[in-house]
Structure 1
Amino acid sequence: MQVMYKLNDEQLITLFKKGHSTALEELVYRHKDKLYTSIVLLVKDAFLAEDIFQDTFIKIIDTIRGDRYTEKGKFLPWAMRIAHNLCVDHFRKIKRTPLIKTSDDKDIFNVLGFSEPSAEEVMMTRQSHDSVRRMLDLLPEEQREVIILRHYAELSFKEIADLTQVSINTALGRMRYGLINLRKMMTEKQICL
């Protein structure tokens, strides 16, 4: 058996279709951080994000097993679209719009750490992330969503446009105005990141 981490997403999907559950494990491991981070930034509840993350992979498994997967070479954007749609469905179900606000449950930015930082670095990083999150909370929803999908999920503007069902120019405009608004807030509050 080939080493799973060396295979691309399509090869892993093919192996999973043939009954190799380790191929699915590699797909989950490979994309879990981006998917979970995007979900938690949209729903602002770690427990709800875990549920939606699991539901996302249940839908992925059902689609692949049902031989309905047609997104050749675009697994992550497809998975992000499923996760995004599940978030939207959740908010439709409870009849309120998603608000991004600071959550005390868990600091998702700890996932990004690669080495043991000093206590001072941890405090400064946490303060910077809290400042960015508070400023993101103040942006209009459309601008906030594009910034999250671009910077945290690392989607292209075409993928963002497809996911949010707007034109690429609209996605670019939302990003531009979102960044302008963030810069204004930083200047007004004299925040230095």
Structure 2
Amino acid sequence: MKALVKKTDHELIQLFTDGNLEALEALVVRHKDKLYTSILFLVKDKYLAEDIFQDVFIRIIDTMRSGRYTEEGKFLPWAMRIAHNLCVDHFRKVKRTPTIRNSEDKDIFEVLNFTDDSAETAMMKRQSHSRVREMLERLPEDQREVIILRHYADMSFKEIAAATDCSINTALGRMRYGLINLRKLMVQKQIAL
């Protein structure tokens, strides 16, 4: 498994299609945090996010096994598009928009590793993350989505535009207005991160 960690996404995909299941495991481990975090931010439900995350990898496996994967060198953006589309499909299927939940839900940042921090630092990070999440939830959906995809999924604006089916300029505008609105919220609420 250690040797697989050094391989590129393309090499891991090739190994998997040749029958090496550990290559798929390495690929999942490499990208699980970004994918899961992005899904959770969009659906705001831990259990639903886990289901969609599993569906994403089922689609990925089916596509790779059937030989239809052609996104050479662009695995993560491709996987993020699948995740985004599955989230959109979910909301279309239940014919509702995502609900804004209160801060009693489990923190999204539990999936990140804070074990090296002191108790005080961990508490300050949780409070900061909670404030950021609360402010993000106050943004319009299109602005929130672009900020999440850019900062939590590390997607480029070109990738965001493709995933959200808009132009690059629209994605840039949504990001700009989203950040302006976040700054306004910080001033109004006198929040320091």
Q: Is the structural similarity TM-score above 0.5? A: yes
Match of 2:185 in 1: 185
Give yes or no for contact 1:56–1:83 (8 Å, CA) kept in 2. Answer: yes
What SS does structure 2 have at the residue aligned with 1:3? helix
- Specify every segment of 5 or more residues in structure 2 that has no aligned partner in the other structure, as ranges: none
User: 1:163 maps to what in 2?
Assistant: 163
Amino acid at match of 1:177: Y
Q: How does 1:102-117 map to 2 (within 5 A)?
A: 102=102, 104-117=104-117
Contact kept in structure 2, 1:139 and 1:178, CA below 8 Å: yes
Looking at structure 2, the residues matched to 114 and 46 of structure 1 have their Cα atoms a distance apart, in angstroms, of 19
| CA drift at 1:100 | 4.6
1:3 equivalent in alignment to 2:6: no
Q: CA deviation at 1:103?
A: 5.6
C-alpha distance 103-70 of structure 1, shift in aligned 2 (>3 A) = farther
Identity %: 72
Deviations 1:35-61 (A, max 9, x none): 000000000000000000000000000
In 2, are the aligned partners of 1:150 and 1:160 still within 8 Å (CA)? yes
The CA deviation string for residues 123-164 of structure 1, in whole angstroms up to 9 with x for no partner, is 211111111111111100000000000000010000000000
State the distance in 1 between where 2:102 and 2:31 align: 24
CA distance 1:157–1:122, shift in 2 (3 Å): same
Q: 1:100 to 1:75 in 2, by over 3 A?
A: farther
Are residues 1:48 and 2:48 paired? yes
Whole-Å separation in 1 of the counterparts to 2:186 and 2:83: 31
Aligned residue number for residue 93 of structure 2: 93
Q: Structure 1 pair 150/102, CA: closer, same or farther in 2 (3 Å)?
A: farther
Can you list the C-alpha shifts for 1:8-43, whole angstroms capped at 9, x where unaligned?
000000000000000000000000000000000000
Using structure 2 for the length normalisation, give the TM-score. 0.95
Deviation at 1:97, TM superposition (A): 1.6
Give distance in 1, aligned partners of 2:103 and 2:184: 24
Q: Match of 1:124, as an amino acid? A: M
- Counterpart contact for 1:101–1:133, Cα < 8 Å: no
Aligned AA for 1:123? M
Paired residue for 1:37? Answer: 37
Whether contact under 8 Å (1:35, 1:53) holds in the other structure is yes
2-side partners of 1:145 and 1:107: how far apart? 18
Q: Any conservation in 2 of the 1:39–1:84 contact (CA below 8 Å)?
A: yes
Output the CA distance in 2 between the equivalents of 1:184 and 1:68: 46
Query: Which letter maps to 1:64?
Result: M
Whether the aligned pair in 2 keeps the contact of 1:38 and 1:152 (CA below 8 Å) is yes
Aligned residue for 2:83?
A: 83
Query: By how many angstroms is 1:98 displaced?
Result: 2.3
The superposition leaves residues 78-107 of structure 1 with CA deviations (integer Å, 9 ceiling, x where unpaired) of 000001100000000000122453464432
Q: In the alignment, is residue 22 of structure 1 matched against residue 22 of structure 2?
A: yes
- 1-structure distance, mates of 2:25, 2:64: 14
Aligned equivalent of 1:131: 131
Number of equivalenced pairs: 193
